[in-house]
Amino acid sequence: PPPPIPLPPPFPCKGSETSVKTKVLHWEVVAPEKIPKSIWGHSNSTKVQLNSVRLLDQFAIQDTIALKIIVNDFSPHQQILLNQKVAHNFNIFLKSFPVKATELNGKLLILQEENGGLTDEHITSLSRYVPTPDDVEKYKSYSGRHSDLHIVDQYMMTMCHITYLRQRLDLIVTVRELPVSMRNLQPLLNHKIKACSQLLESRMFVSVLGHLLAIGNFLNENARKEKIKGFRLSSLTKLVEIRGKDRTFTVLHALIEQIMLQEPALTTFTQELTEFEAVPGASIKGLIAEVDVLKNQLEKINQYKKIFKSKNKVNADREFYKELKSLIQKYEAELIQLSKQCDEMKKLYSDVLVKFGEPQNQDSQEMFGWISSFINDFSKACADKKALQTGNR
């Protein structure tokens, strides 16, 4: 036999013990009982010669000490007051932040971005570096020259002297998000109001349910079960589960045949329930909770208004307070309308539950889902039935 192929020369390798921490490779581990009969039971991984120098160089985790070496922006002779890691990240942020320290307070007095205010992204990033109480104490006790500080410390010192900085940033975010949330909620409330109204007004749907009750009572009576006077709408989901001798024929098909035979016009009942063609979204209870959240956000803005009410006659402060007050009045009016819609929606849904004999704590998303599924199944089966009849002519 030919001589065995010699192994390649080993990679340079350090000892297995090292003080350098590396990134973790998160395995999906093979179950121990499966190892013996798998390739892993005979793995040669313990014999592999690793180039550990290369691996450590590529996958080492940089700690704070390494960070000091990498950050060339910080002079070794210049003391940094801020935490080293925070200073590094803050320095990166400031390089792309177009607002000077002397301009920051003025920017916080502009609520909308289109009027020259901070962008949403800048607010989010700046919020990460709001000084802690320890930072404030540290910078306020600094007695050296401001110009001797690194730009990171200079900016942080400016931020320490802006009162209610975090609240100001939070206010701007809330003022911008509130109208968006209200606009997004409006069509959802309208949809639920229309859906409830359609259920209350649809006569054909009630007739369809009457036909279904008759079919169900007939089957149950012959199965030695008692007749009932009404069924929960959750029963609509079971119609396709009960199959006849022909496995493609279900109670739903029997219902459609019965309707076509006696009242064919009822096959168009879905036209009275167009709001149920799509799968229902949020529940009525959830929408009410969302409106309550918006009310709390508006109350938070009101509280901030009291905090920021100008005590001096600086024009920028007066304009800020004036704009804030105007926005609050606008949002209050819009929320009043949303609240009225919520009350209307709750009343209509309560009437729907009474009409169909459902408990008052029945979740709307679940119930509307039953109706939506029934409508879709009915429409499909009805279309198949009509197509079959057309083909047989």
The pLDDT value given to residue 222: 78
DSSP 11: P
- HSE-CB at 158 with a 13 A cutoff on CA atoms is 19
Q: Which two tokens stand for residue 136?
A: 């404030």
CA dist 238 to 212, 216, 235, 362, Å?
Answer: 12, 11, 5, 18
Residue tagged 């007749």 (tokens): 227
Look at residue 75 in the predicted model and tell me its pLDDT.
59
Per-residue pLDDT at 243:
82
Q: Do residues 257 and 145 share a domain? A: no
Tell whether 256 is covered by a domain.
yes
What does the pLDDT read at residue 242?
Answer: 81
pTM: 0.72
Digit-coded pLDDT (tens) for 202-243 = 999 999 999 899 888 888 887 788 888 888 999 998 888 888
Is residue 181 situated within a structural domain? no
Count CA atoms within 13 Å of residue 330 on its CB side. 11
Residues in the chain: 393
Position 391 confidence tier, pLDDT thresholds 50, 70, 90 = low
pLDDT band at 14; cut points 50, 70, 90: very low
Query: What pLDDT does 52 receive?
Result: 66
**Torsion sign across C-alpha atoms 368, 374, 375, 380:** positive
Q: Are 234 and 117 in a shared domain?
A: no
Question: Is residue 279 included in any domain, yes or no?
Answer: yes
The packing angle between helices 251-262 and 203-222, to 10°, is 120
CATH number of the domain where residue 301 is located: 1.20.58.2220
**DSSP characters for 69-98?**
HH-TTS-TTS---S-HHHHHHHHHHHHH--
Are 276 and 195 in contact by the 8 Å Cβ rule? The answer is yes
Q: 165, 197, 220 — which closes off a domain?
A: 165
Contact 200, 262 (CB under 8 A): no
Are 205 and 280 in the same domain?
yes
Residues 193 and 155 placed together within one structural domain of the fold: no
Within a domain: residue 17? no
Q: Cβ distance 352 to 196 under 8 Å?
A: yes
Phi-psi bin for 378: left (phi > 0), alpha (psi -120 to 50), beta?
alpha
Q: Indicate if 194 and 157 belong to the same structural domain.
A: no
Structural domain boundaries enclosing 197 = 186-391
Does residue 197 share a domain with residue 147? Answer: no
Q: d(Cα 116, Cα 90) in Å, to the nearest integer?
A: 23
Residue 58 is predicted with a pLDDT of 65
- Spatial distance between the Cα atoms of 285 and 346, rounded to a whole number of angstroms: 9
Assess if residue 88 is contained within a domain.
yes
In a domain, 329, yes or no: yes
368 contact partners, CB below 8 Å, separation of at least 6: 195, 276, 280
Sign of the torsion angle spanned by Cα atoms 75, 76, 77, 82: positive
Determine, yes or no, domain membership for 40.
Answer: no
The reply to whether 132 and 206 lie within a common domain is: no
- Look at residue 319 in the predicted model and tell me its pLDDT: 83
Judgement on whether residues 198 and 248 belong to the same structural domain of the protein: yes
* 8 A C-beta contact, residue 20 and residue 56: yes
Indicate the SS3 state at residue 15. Answer: coil
Give the 3-state secondary structure of residue 348. Answer: helix
Q: What residues pair up with 250 in beta bridges, in sequence order?
A: 243
Is the same domain home to 116 and 201? no
Cα–Cα distance measured from residue 325 to residue 322, given in angstroms and rounded to the nearest whole number? 5
Whether residue 156 lies inside any domain: the answer is: yes
- Give CA angle at 55 (65, 67), nearest 5°: 15
* Residue 13 pLDDT exceeds 60: no
Beta-bridged to residue 22, according to DSSP, are 60
Do both 194 and 142 map to the same domain? no
Average pLDDT, the chain: 83
- Closest-CA residue to 80 (of 7, 35, 142): 142
Q: Are residues 236 and 161 in the same domain?
A: no
Number of domains, the chain: 2
Structure confidence by residue, pLDDT tens digits, 83-119: 888 999 999 999 999 999 999 999 999 999 999 999 9
- Min mean pLDDT across 64-68, 138-142, 233-237, 297-301 is at 64-68
Residue 60 β-bridge partners? 22
pLDDT of 68 reads 40
Residues 270 and 334 occupy one common structural domain: yes
Q: Which DSSP state fits 28? A: -
Q: Any idea what DSSP says for residue 49?
A: P
Q: Which of 69-73, 99-103, 358-362 has the lowest average pLDDT?
A: 69-73
